[in-house]
Amino acid sequence: MRNRCLWPGIVVLALAVLVPTVALAAPLDQEEVPADALWIALAPLIAIATFVERVLEIFWDRWESPGVWPNRKGVSDPSAPAYVRSKKAWSQWLGTLVAALIIGMTNVRLFRFLGFDVLFSNLLLFTSRVGGIFDQFTVGTLVDWLLTAGIIGWGGTELVHNIIEGLIKGRNLWREMREVEAGRKSILDARFFGDYVAPELEKRGVSVIGLRNLFQTLSSVGLAPDPLLASLTTGQVDRLLAQLSSNPQTAPAAEAIRAFLDQVPAEKQPEIPNLLALLTPQQRRRFLGA
């Protein structure tokens, strides 16, 4: 019966040894991490916590049974309050010790998986060629090792489950907040462009649709709109048009610029770059396509 209880622990321990390599192939410090990926990455912690619980169950089962090593006297009353308190305290310390041993062999550390920099992560204590946790062993590695072992040893699988669920809920909430903020910013950007920038352009004889088409024409021949805006500011549009017209590939862009500027009064043309400078690069790409 005891051997049957041990087999699940051995299986989950094997998973704890094998899964970290797969988990680290997709780091958790990316902006968006699906909940399933987070569960998979932190599964070794669950495996180790489950194994520790099984080991403690087998240990106390043997300890309380008379005639069995390591305590042949057994325990006369396992439900005695004093014994229960002592058993709980010893379980926490023994669980932490077993967890620390397994973490040392597998290098499964909570904050390492989450991509957090632990205090003094760059303060190297020693390094070795044995692999695992002892390669590039820093103060941060030691702190992460002890904290992870303490979480498993003192909290067990329930605490590890709660930590992972809390991380998933926190990430989902953060993603929802970012989506709400992005939506709010998108609305504000649209209002700013529609209520201020577009009317000011139209007052100067600039059609938003015509400006967007001009930018798309420039982009089609591999030109950015910035040289055009700079030439409008400095009053050197004719020089720019001459350069574009001399090249057969960019000649259509020169014709498009002439057709566009014919619709805008000459005295209003230098004001176009000033208005467009009010837009961020993201806003300009969104509303004008370049």
Interval 73-125: pLDDT, tens: 999 999 999 999 999 999 999 999 999 999 988 888 888 877 777 878 888 88
Say how far apart CA 119 and CA 290 lie, in whole Å. 44
Rounded to whole angstroms, how far apart are CA atoms 48 and 105? 11
The predicted pLDDT at position 30 comes to: 43
Instruction: Specify the pTM.
Output: 0.52
Contact 232, 269 (CB under 8 A): yes
Mean pLDDT for all residues in the chain? 82
pLDDT > 70? residue 247: yes
Q: Residue 7 pLDDT > 60, yes or no?
A: no
193: which 2 tokens? 């462009």
pLDDT at 232: 87
Q: How far apart are CA 250 and CA 245, in angstroms?
A: 7
Residue with tokens 């941060």, as numbered in its chain: 140
Looking at residue 29, what is its pLDDT? Answer: 44
- Angle of helix 139-192 relative to helix 281-288, nearest 10 degrees, comes to 50
- pLDDT-wise least confident of 61-70, 173-182, 215-224: 173-182
SS3 of 23, please?
Answer: helix
